[in-house]
């Protein structure tokens, strides 16, 4: 239903967030931001903390997009392999960008502490291999991160992993104690509460229908408009047609999650004894973690059309039982999905169009920590310190080949090859 959150375990378990007014009439602001996900709200908080007047326009509700639906796995780095960033900007700057991704993780913990946001944060994340070639890939990655980025991760062999996650499917784990997981809707709504407390004006049900560029950009909605010194686009995969030069740089890809019925503490802990978040390293990956009320949240189905796949619940249950055979027959109480904003090289696409229009997109399924950083970096640039945003802008981005009509079929063909590779090698 328009204006409601999608039915999900997150929407069912987050406290009520008061509805915000719809924009009517004309407002003035130093900065106007399109989108009330983590990117937009993080930008708003940074700017309001610095004393600027900020308006956020949200087409639906706070956290309605990917920020309120995600797998909740908050991980270092970006959506692409760090080596791609190194190729683009050189090792020294790649190291800087990597360090800033860690700042994105620290920002989550810092904001939760500063603004009293309870979002069920749990430490620890593991990338797990299924095949011998994955072990080699993960160990090479571990070496690269340790040697070039001063970021040591732990390698667990199969026995160590089985001590906390008894499981026949995975051959070991690359573990990071600094990454972790959270309840993404509670976190996003917590950011919105913080922003409101700082005087940010948030309007819901206020879809931007047009951006008029100029010395003082204007965001127009059906019932109102906001004129501002600086405009920020933080609409992720859900925005389209507002800045057409950005649209072909990303591709919306559907991804899906299920939440089981409550398993009870004993049964849940028997699955993942240390409560870490887990993701395998297949191209079409499975990722999962426990919820605070002892469900398994299991994600693992992507779709390259904009339609939800058929029999989603059955597919997720089958994939889940492949990982945890003891969950065969367990009910999925909730199944939902959302869109990722994949860039062609999966690297972050952040920058500006002209002197007063800023954007951040291309989080490529790796946005929980990076979105907070994007907000901070855009806010710095608006306040006259563009060094970090300019560094991100140096990463080159190409349009998806085939234009609007063909990019989906071409991506489907590419993904079919990667899935085949997952299955065969």
CB closer to ligand FAD out of 161 and 370? 370
Q: Among the candidate windows 112-120, 189-197, 367-375, 382-390, which touches ligand FAD by CB under 6 A?
A: 367-375
What x-and-dash track marks residues 280-319 binding ligand FAD by CB under 6 A? -------------------x--------------------
Q: Looking at 179, 236, 291, 356, which residue binds ligand FAD (CB under 6 A)? A: 236
* H or E segment to which residue 230 belongs: strand 224-233
Selected range binding ligand FAD among 23-31, 129-137, 234-242, 319-327, rule: CB under 6 A: 234-242
Q: What is the DSSP letter of 76?
A: S
Q: Which is nearer to ligand FAD, 100 or 238 (CB)?
A: 238
Q: Which is nearer to ligand FAD, 59 or 344 (CB)?
A: 59
The conformation of residue 5, written as its DSSP 8-state character, comes to P
Q: Which of 340, 373, 389, 395 binds ligand FAD (CB under 6 A)?
A: 340
Distance CA 257, CA 262 (A): 15
Which of 97, 109, 173 lies closest to 141, judged by CA?
A: 173
Distance CA 312, CA 309 (A): 6
**Rule CB under 6 A: is residue 234 a binding residue for ligand FAD?**
yes
Say if CB 61 and CB 201 are below 8 A apart. Answer: no
Find out whether 135 and 280 touch, Cβ atoms under 8 Å.
Answer: no
Stretch that binds ligand FAD, among 130-138, 149-157, 264-272, 358-366 (CB under 6 A): 358-366
Residue 213 and residue 220 in contact, taking contact as beta carbons nearer than 8 Å: no
Residue list 61-100, contact with ligand FAD (CB under 6 A)? 64-67, 69-73, 75
Give the nearest distance from C-beta 343 to ligand FAD in angstroms.
Answer: 11
Stated as kind and residue range, the H or E segment containing 188 is helix 184-197
The token duo for 65 is 């997009």
Binders of ligand FAD in range 18-47 (CB under 6 A): 34-40
Report how far residue 39's alpha carbon sits from residue 78's, in angstroms, rounded to the nearest whole number. 15
Beta strands in 322-394 (DSSP E): 332-343, 349-352, 357-361
Is the CB of 52 or the CB of 182 nearer to ligand FAD?
Answer: 182
Q: How many residues touch ligand FAD (CB under 6 A)?
A: 42
d(CA 375, CA 6) in angstroms, rounded, equals: 25
- The piece of 1-9, 59-67, 113-121, 385-393 that touches ligand FAD (CB under 6 A) is 59-67
What whole-number distance in Å separates Cα of residue 424 and Cα of residue 347? 27
**CB nearer ligand FAD, residue 38 or residue 145:** 38
- Cα(198)–Cα(348) distance, integer angstroms: 28
Question: Cβ closer to ligand FAD: 132 or 187?
Answer: 187
> Taking CB under 6 A as the rule, which mask of x and - marks residues 320-339 in contact with ligand FAD?
-----------------xxx
Residue 197, number of CB atoms within 10 A of its CB:
11
Report the residue number, 271 or 335, with the smaller CB distance to ligand FAD: 335
What residues line the site for ligand FAD (CB under 6 A)? 34-40, 57-60, 64-67, 69-73, 75, 207-208, 234-236, 238-239, 242, 255, 257, 299, 337-340, 363, 365-368, 371
């Amino acid at each position: 239903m328009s204006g409601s959150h999608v039915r999900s375990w997150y929407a069912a378990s987050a406290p009520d967030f008061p509805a915000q007014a719809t924009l009517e009439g004309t407002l003035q602001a130093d900065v106007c931001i399109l989108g009330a996900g983590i990117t937009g709200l993080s930008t708003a908080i940074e700017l309001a903390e610095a004393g600027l007047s900020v308006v956020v326009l949200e087409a639906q509700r706070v956290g309605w997009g990917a920020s309120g639906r995600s797998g909740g796995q908050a991980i270092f780095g970006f959506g692409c392999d760090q080596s791609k960033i190194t190729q683009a900007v050189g090792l020294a700057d790649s190291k800087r960008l990597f360090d800033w991704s860690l700042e994105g993780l620290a920002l989550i913990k810092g904001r939760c502490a500063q603004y009293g946001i309870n979002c069920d944060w749990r430490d620890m994340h593991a990338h797990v291999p299924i095949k011998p070639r994955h072990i080699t890939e993960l160990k090479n990655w571990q070496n690269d991160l340790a040697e070039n980025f001063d970021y040591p991760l732990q390698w667990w062999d199969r026995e160590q992993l089985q001590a906390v996650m008894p499981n026949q499917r995975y051959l070991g784990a690359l573990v990071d104690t600094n990454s972790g997981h959270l309840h993404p809707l509670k976190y996003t709504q917590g950011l919105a509460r913080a922003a409101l407390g700082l005087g940010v004006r948030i309007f819901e049900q206020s879809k931007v229908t047009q951006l008029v560029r100029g010395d003082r950009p204007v965001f127009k909605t059906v019932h109102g408009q906001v004129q501002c010194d600086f405009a920020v686009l933080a609409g992720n995969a859900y925005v389209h047609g507002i800045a057409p030069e950005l649209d072909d740089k990303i591709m919306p890809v559907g991804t899906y999650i299920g939440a089981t019925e409550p398993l009870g503490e004993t049964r849940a802990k028997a699955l993942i004894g240390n409560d870490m978040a887990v993701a395998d390293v297949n191209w079409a990956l499975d990722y999962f973690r426990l919820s605070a009320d002892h469900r398994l949240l299991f994600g693992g189905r992507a779709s390259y059309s904009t339609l939800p796949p058929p029999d989603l619940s059955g597919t997720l249950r089958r994939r889940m039982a492949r990982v945890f055979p003891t969950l065969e027959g367990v009910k999925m109480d909730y199944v939902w999905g959302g869109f990722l904003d994949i860039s062609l090289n999966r690297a972050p696409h952040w920058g500006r169009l002209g002197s007063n229009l800023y954007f951040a997109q291309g989080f490529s399924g790796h946005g929980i920590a990076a979105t907070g950083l994007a907000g901070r970096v855009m806010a710095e640039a608006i306040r006259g310190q563009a060094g970090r945003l300019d560094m991100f802008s140096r990463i080159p981005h190409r349009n998806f080949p085939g234009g609007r009509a063909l990019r989906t079929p071409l991506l489907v063909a590419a993904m079919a090859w990667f899935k085949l590779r997952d299955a065969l090698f």
